[in-house]
Structure 1
């Protein structure tokens, strides 16, 4: 059952990719992540990705061909206008919106270090929410200063507030960890370099998608003209690798560490 964004305020609730070739992106992500696609009400330049019949992401065509291809997360807010004003007050940028969109309102912004993100006011479907069974597993912001970024996003998105349902922030092993209830939904890591020519190193949000077989996903990505953007890394619970789609979009796939 859908809930209002004010019930899950501050939590990541959707991800979208802006790309240059929508048909090619559908072929690539369909092969690598097992997605199907359906048209979106905004027209032929947009579509919704489905996993097992449930919406998990949006794909759209870049309005400007010179812009970079990237995945962006959207965070639930109580009031999109108020959140946009908080973004501007903290010397960050609201690039688009807030605009009415379907049953809600959305805006696309960039934080003070240039990492793009969105805000969403409206209904949030259970399958959209980060950490849900079919949705992206979690998000990671790689930025210049994790502590500074946590303060910025905490103020904009009302993290760690006294309101019931607020997302909670913890500091673990030099990372900032965001939790909604018992679920870890995002992590903020420091050390990114804003002027680096490598987009993998510059400040940005990275989306982690779950797969059953990491090697199979990597093989499909390479078969579909994608490439590896990082070595495979392992933790106690999972293995992961960052991939680059043929249009330059970066994303990470994760699989259980059996």
Structure 2
């Protein structure tokens, strides 16, 4: 969600090489594409909404009403919906720690999911208590349901990791299970997007009015850095290790 749809499209087009198409939902919404395949959705915030620009993950569910009820039962907040939206129904919610996320009941692309192709590389929940968050999302989203839709949840190196098949879908970080929750963490979901060249993405982001807000981090398979777009929305760009 952005306060200036055209400016956001220019920025992400320059940094990530995305192109954009308007949707049947009107001029305030568009889809982002990379190499002709969908990546993400963009929506313009209503002028009377004093909300910050931000990336929000939407999780596919079979029944938005049932899932919204699960959210409320566990002390979390359903802020919007379920409401009809295009080819389905949507919900905007916040977990018990305050991290915002969405639900989607309706048409989805059969082969499109996090960790594959043009979809985001993975999602990360940065929160105060990773163990409590894993229990909440596991119960609300039925992560341990029946195959093939179920996921495997594991605790690895102080992180809760969610996998679907061989794909890492999400990671929840918030300190070791035996430690007290960190009161300085502002809980939020964070999206990681793939780029072919990290240095080129960094240069494009700063030239287009964004800023780099973390050092470059490296693993055995990739390199990544966190970026703040001109409106303040945070995201991470991830490139293969050369």
Considering the TM-score relative to the shorter chain, is it more than 0.5? yes
Query: How many angstroms apart in 1 are the aligned matches of 2:173 and 2:59?
Result: 18
Q: 2:25 aligns with which of 42, 61, 64?
A: 42
Query: How many angstroms apart in 2 are the aligned matches of 1:65 and 1:252?
Result: 26
Alignment partner, residue 23 of structure 1? 6
Give a deviation string over 1:79-114, Cα, whole Å, max 9, x none.
110000000111111111111222221111111111
Structure-1-length-normalised TM-score: 0.88
Contact 1:139 1:185 in 2 (8 A): yes
Give the drift of 1:127: 5.5
Query: How many angstroms apart in 2 are the aligned matches of 1:20 and 1:193?
Result: 31
Unaligned runs of 5+ in 1: 1-17
**In the alignment, is residue 61 of structure 1 matched against residue 44 of structure 2?**
yes
Contact 1:56 1:136 in 2 (8 A): yes
**In the alignment, is residue 227 of structure 1 matched against residue 208 of structure 2?**
no
Alignment partner, residue 65 of structure 2? 81
Give the drift of 1:164: 4.4
Query: How many angstroms apart in 2 are the aligned matches of 1:189 and 1:205?
Result: 10
Please report the RMSD computed on the Cα atoms of aligned residues, expressed in angstroms. Answer: 1.5
Matches of residues 1-258 of structure 1 in structure 2 within 5 Å? Answer: 18-63=1-46, 64-126=48-110, 128-162=112-146, 164-191=148-175, 196=184, 201-258=185-242
Give the drift of 1:69: 1.2
Residue 56 of structure 2 aligns to a residue in which SS? strand
Of the two structures, which has the highest relative contact order with CA contacts closer than 8 Å and spacing of 6 or more?
A: 1
Query: How many angstroms apart in 2 are the aligned matches of 1:225 and 1:240?
Result: 19
Give the drift of 1:42: 1.4
Alignment partner, residue 178 of structure 2? none
Residue 109 of structure 1 aligns to a residue in which SS? strand
Query: How many angstroms apart in 1 are the aligned matches of 2:93 and 2:231?
Result: 22
Residue 87 of structure 1 aligns to a residue in which SS? helix
Give the drift of 1:161: 2.9
Runs of 4+ residues over 4 Å off in structure 1: 191-194
